[in-house]
A and B are shown apart, each in its own frame.
Chain A
Amino acid sequence: MTGTIPVRVREITALAPTLKRFAFEPAHGGAFPTAPAGGHVMLTLRDGARVMKNAYSLVSPPGARGRYEIIVRKVAQSRGGSAFLHAHVAAGDVLEMAPPVSLFPLAATARKHVLIAGGIGITPMLSFLAELQARGARFELHHLSSPEEVPVFERLLAPYAVDADIRVHGGGRAAFDLAGLLSRQPLGSHVYTCGPHSLMDAVGTTALALGWPRGSVHKESFGAAAGGLPFKAVLTRSGMEVMVGENQTLLEAIEAAGVAARCLCRGGACGECVTRVEEGEVDHRDDFLSDAEKAAGALIMPCVSRARGPRLVLDL
């Protein structure tokens, strides 16, 4: 992961009061790299002196190289990036974007793909749909939405819904028969889920309880609970002390202090930012470290995890 691509905002479309679609084109002409299905890009957003880096799934078809699209939800508890995009970014603006990477690939050997999304977790599924239809693959998609947003998601899915098993469920989690859905899937099925952690956890535990092998269950984590009590991080190799605010991640605080930390997904999934802990107790919030590694407490994923106490000493 080196370098960023300058991108120009070509078009902004309001899809719902809190949902906007942003279309980007290469700022200096030419074409974007071919994006992987389920891929995401990282935008660097500069609000005065404050620099925010946010990862967003591409919703444009993987083969579309003239235009990348993302859909951004403005969240009440936003750490700033999404609110900034909604309020301050306009058509014609130029932003820095890291080229797309995918931590959420489609399984090449799957006989059938079962996609289960909740809310804004639909975004990686939109690029999956384009790819699955291009491949002629067998799939079904279930989207769980709040009742008032059902028409919004139905409109987003409409281009893919011809002769396809795509359903938007607005009746709440209890009315969605997850166990029934997962128990009638043929051999060789893979399930993919993206959305609130409670939904992804339910898909994972239900599938495993029904005997699905771990390797056939895939989830895309994004936007884990970010906030927490403020604490101090001591970076021994850089010889610095960094204060981490309550609405800021450890990684953001490290970056704000000018230390270049490795990162890729910024959602606790990829493992790129793993850092050695020399002192202090960790509040682990990632999906990367094993339970044993979390218990040992020698490693932390600064993009989502925090200190469980006033101070952490890191080998950074």
Chain B
Amino acid sequence: MSDQGIKSRPAYGKITGDPAARHALLVVEGAGLPDELMAEGVDPSAFETWTVAHASTVPGAPVMDEAAGAVRPFRSARQLFSALEERLARETMGLRLCAAGTEPFLWDVFNIGAVAGLTRQEMQFAQMGPQARRIFCVHCRTVSEGITASIVTCAGCGASLFVRDHFSKRLAAFMAVQIDAEVPGEVPPSEEIYR
């Protein structure tokens, strides 16, 4: 079974920004600015940047500068998402939202943006970090994170799942389907391919 050629598989580029934007917010799933993900000639100081420090030692609330060039660290991706929801709810037209991170992070950002009214034209994504996948078991709806193998056992229903290239933007996850539905127990060897 091969999933080659699935057209819904998202493709990613570099962060180019948009000269027409009134203001650009870049959210990064990491502590530093992703210089290698910026397109040539794009100045990171043109963006207001939010980072994920994965640490408890970030400064407290007082730094609330919303200008280009400002960098605001968050303890975790969850904390950043929560602040992002509040921020987008009071934003006006002309904003561009850019994100750099792993695929599940990018599509979590996409969904927060979409709920706030941003269209795909107003968002830009650059992929970095591990290729591990978030998967969705189409049988029991359990979502599993950090999947690196081509075939895994579902944490929800125990089925042997094949991880497809079929990606759901809404769920920010790859679809996983039972591989031995025709002949129970006939499960090919799994390979570690998403690293």
Contact = CB atoms under 8 A, between A and B. Distances in A.
Interface of A: 109, 111, 182-189, 207-216
20 contacts: A182-B93, A186-B92, A186-B93, A187-B88, A187-B91, A187-B92, A187-B93, A187-B117, A188-B117, A188-B119, A189-B93, A189-B117, A208-B20, A209-B20, A211-B20, A211-B21, A211-B94, A211-B96, A212-B93, A216-B93
B42 interface: no
B108 interface: no
A216 B122 CA distance: 10
B119 to A, nearest CB: 6
Nearest to B23: A211
Decide if the interface of chain B is mainly helix, strand, loop or mixed. loop
B93 A210 contact: yes
Given A185-B93, A213-B122, 14 more contacts: A111-B117, A187-B91, A187-B118, A188-B119, A189-B93, A207-B93, A210-B22, A211-B18, A211-B20, A211-B21, A211-B95, A211-B96, A212-B94, A213-B119
Contact of B121 (A182, A185, A188, A213): A213
Contacts of A109: 119
Contacts of A111: 117
Contact of A186 (B20, B21, B117): B117
A137 to B, nearest CB: 13
A211 B18 CA distance: 9
B171 interface: no
Nearest to A110: B117
Interface string B42-77: 000000000000000000000000000000000000
Contacts of A189: 93, 117
B116 interface: yes
Contact of A210 (B88, B94, B117, B121): B94
Interface string B69-107: 000000000000000000010011111100000000000
Interface in B114-166: 116-119, 121-122
Residue among A109, A208, A213 with the highest chain B CB neighbour number at 10 A = A213
Contacts of B18: 211
A182 B121 CA distance: 18
Contacts of A184: 92
Contacts of B122: 213
Nearest to B91: A187
A184 B93 CA distance: 7
Nearest to B90: A186
Given A187-B88, A208-B20, A210-B22, A215 B119 contact: yes
Nearest to B20: A211
A121 to B, nearest CB: 22
Contacts of B121: 213-215
Contacts of A215: 119, 121
